Amino acid sequence: MTDDIRDTVDGVIGALADPTRRHLLDLLATHGEVTATTLAEQVPVSRQAIVKHLAVLEAAGLATSRKSGREVLYAVRPDALNATARWMTALATEWDRRLAAVKRIAEAAERDSR
């Protein structure tokens, strides 16, 4: 159940951890559907490296691939990113909540000590 989310988050964060992959996502987002070969012309790495990155992005749910004739078109895919963003927001909120609780307790203790 919630393990799905954990897996999603795990994959997305792992995929986003690499700068080259983030760059590729930017290119995909701006250019729409593109092939790995096209991307290779705009990035200082080999086509093969890009194919691997795209595979990681696709496995993480951040990209989709579609075959059109002899070429493969890749595009961005927002769902997993959205889910991860929500997860992160919830986590940050949780941290805020806990820290606020700790602070309240500390202030209460401070008050008692006087």
Partner DNA sequence: TTCATGTGCAACTCAAGGATTGCACATCGG
Partner DNA sequence: CCGATGTGCAATCCTTGAGTTGCACATGAA
Q: How far is the CB of 53 from DNA (least distance, A)?
A: 6
- Bridge partners of 70, per DSSP, are none
Nearer to a copy of itself, 50 or 63 (CB): 63
Our measurement of the distance from residue 101's CA atom to the centroid of its chain's CA atoms, rounded to an integer in Å, reads: 30
In the three-class reduction of DSSP (H, G, I as helix; E, B as strand; rest coil), residue 96 is classed as helix
- Contact string 5-44 vs DNA (x = CB under 7 A): ------------xx-x--------------xxx------x
Closest listed residue to residue 63, CA positions, set 82, 77, 47: 77
Nearer to a copy of itself, 59 or 88 (CB): 88
